[in-house]
Amino acid sequence: MRRILHIAPRPVLAIMAVILMACECGGPLPPDPPSPPQPPVDTRSESLKAFMEMSEIGLYVESEGIIIYDDLNYQKAWSTEEGSFRIQRDDQGAYLSIRSSAQSASSSYQVEYMAGDQNVTLMLLKLQTVQTGQSCIWLWNETRKTGIIMPEGII
């Protein structure tokens, strides 16, 4: 009888060893999860970012408001047929005029302005739309760091 008792634990131990070894061999490891995508790099200049935060109609150079429209001191006029937009002070002391240039690509504009006691400045700029909203359009020239906010749908 003692012999039967001594033999019985051996197969039980062998079965347990097989079960433990099977549990330890979990098969191939799953692949690592893909890393999350990197956020897109913002390549816009600091001047452009600052300009896009502006909200008033007008002319901005290096994100500084050169001519800013307000209802109390300025008038505004436009012609969709001529592709032009103008704001001017009531006392004629400052104005901004932008006109789509018919001679060149559709993104070229003739910009003329005078602020206070400055001389008249005339520029031919290629402007690109960088933002729209609040019934306005933001036009920007990266080379000159110049931006114009004007009502949408005029030019």
How do residues 48-107 score in pLDDT, each as one tens digit?
Answer: 999 999 999 999 999 899 999 999 999 999 998 888 999 999 998 999 999 987 655 458
Structure tokens at 1: 């009888």
Structure tokens at 123: 């520029």
Whole-model pTM over 0.85:
no
Contacts for 131 with CB less than 8 Å, ≥ 6 apart: 52, 137, 138
How do residues 81-91 score in pLDDT, each as one tens digit?
Answer: 888 999 999 99
Domain range summary for the chain, segments of one domain joined by +: 46-151
